[in-house]
Amino acid sequence: MDITEIHVRDINNWISRHLIDPEAHFLHNWDDDWMLYGTGTAQLTYLAVLDAVAEIALQHQSMPIKIDRIAYRRTQVSGNKDVLPNVSNYWIQFKKRTVGIERTGDPSKPIRLVGGEFGTKDSMKFFDSFNASVFSLGEESYSKIVAGLKKQSASVPDAPKLRDHEVQNFMRMYAVRRACKFLLYESIGNGMKIRYVLDDLNLEMAATKARVEGKVPVCTTELREIFRCWDYFRNHVTFYKDFRLVTPPWERPTATYEGLKGWAMYAAHRANKVLSDDATTVLPQALVKLEACVEAALQGNYPRAIWQFHESCPSLNSKFLKPYVIDVSVEPEF
């Protein structure tokens, strides 16, 4: 992501309180507790802006920020975003020599992850918390792990040996995906907001889960998790593009027509899955909305399909969310 003069103009107008709609800018509430998600390049640019603004605030300067100053700050934070606690990379430091795989002795749970050396004590504690959570790979059967690996990369064989060096790399990336999801819920549970920057992302590819160089990008995994449980996440996640608050990737004007179609087809797929698994466990109000979701998708009414899916409270069907944050004794409002 490149910083532009338009970005800088808006930043300076926000600082001088001359920006129209200042609450829609990323800098609004910049000193609150939040977790930054997005691509590495976009994160660096957003962090550079925050760094430059914080520097001005500390020095009580009134001079406007210039584009070369932000570019300089970007070089300063480049490679160092893993030392900032409000950036997801700080916590998820699952590098080649920091995560190993160990037998459990239980055929139904053939592996567990073992932590090695981490960059910070916080990242090590996070790994332990993740590993003890419902997101842990140790909670999954062999077949589930293989299915997850194959979703991640087309090159994973049908019956991989989980301790082969190449497969272990896939396992590590699989753990990263799970940990990214876990961090979403963990952060929110700790009272933080999720700020997701959409710059440098192909949102249509995220909607259709398209592969890049044979792999599904991690951001795709994150966005699809947020989409699946949007009835929960809508109160905790905000999206930004070009430092401006935008609608979610599955809503206009952020979403293109093809993007809407992709998300609607995914919503219909998820709705059909719930309807075909065991509809007797689904609340009647939700059944009506799930059926309406499928019907709207088939009719090409993509915004309505997405809306009906989210109105069905899909988070109640999340095996991850239910035991982690939801009080299932409280009936949702439809």
- More confidently predicted of 243 and 87: 243
Ranked by mean pLDDT, the top range of 135-149, 288-302, 320-334 is 288-302
Domain count, the chain: 3
Query: In the prediction, which pLDDT does 327 show?
Result: 44
Query: In the prediction, which pLDDT does 169 show?
Result: 76
**209 near 220, Cβ under 8 Å?**
yes
- More confidently predicted of 272 and 102: 272
- Which of 25, 54, 86 is the C-terminal boundary of a domain? 86
pLDDT tens digits, one per residue of 227-263? 999 999 999 999 999 999 999 999 999 999 999 999 9
Q: Residue 195 and residue 80: Cα distance in Å, rounded?
A: 19
Ranked by mean pLDDT, the top range of 136-140, 172-176, 255-259 is 255-259
- Which of 147, 175, 191 is the C-terminal boundary of a domain? 191
Query: In the prediction, which pLDDT does 333 show?
Result: 57
Residues 70 and 101 in one domain: no
Query: In the prediction, which pLDDT does 326 show?
Result: 45
- More confidently predicted of 277 and 330: 277
pLDDT at residue 119 is higher than 70: yes
pLDDT at residue 134 is higher than 50: yes
Q: Which residues contact 34 (CB under 8 A, 6 or more apart)?
A: 86, 192, 193, 194, 195
Per-residue DSSP letters for 293-333? HHHHHHTT-HHHHHHHHHHT-GGGG-TTHHHHT--TTSPPP
Q: What is the mean pLDDT of residues 158-181?
A: 79
pLDDT at residue 200 is higher than 80: yes
Chain-centroid distance, C-alpha 23: 23
Question: Is this structure's pTM higher than 0.85?
Answer: yes
pLDDT at residue 130 is higher than 50: yes
Using only C-alpha atoms, the chain has a radius of gyration, in whole angstroms, of 21
Residues 106 and 63 in one domain: no
Residues 120 and 185 in one domain: yes
- More confidently predicted of 159 and 44: 44
Query: In the prediction, which pLDDT does 107 show?
Result: 63
Range of the domain at 97: 87-191
Q: Residue 180 and residue 216: Cα distance in Å, rounded?
A: 14
Q: What is the mean pLDDT of residues 148-162?
A: 76
Encoded tokens for 329: 């004794």
Query: In the prediction, which pLDDT does 163 show?
Result: 66
- Which of 191, 215, 239 is the C-terminal boundary of a domain? 191
**136 near 113, Cβ under 8 Å?**
yes
Residue 198 lies in a domain: no
Q: Residue 198 and residue 127: Cα distance in Å, rounded?
A: 26
Residues 300 and 315 in one domain: yes
Residues 184 and 107 in one domain: yes
Residues 305 and 264 in one domain: yes
Residues 79 and 92 in one domain: no
pLDDT at residue 325 is higher than 60: no
Segment (H or E) for 245: strand 244-246
Query: In the prediction, which pLDDT does 77 show?
Result: 75
Query: In the prediction, which pLDDT does 233 show?
Result: 95
Residue 128 lies in a domain: yes
Residue 102 lies in a domain: yes
Residues 144 and 61 in one domain: no
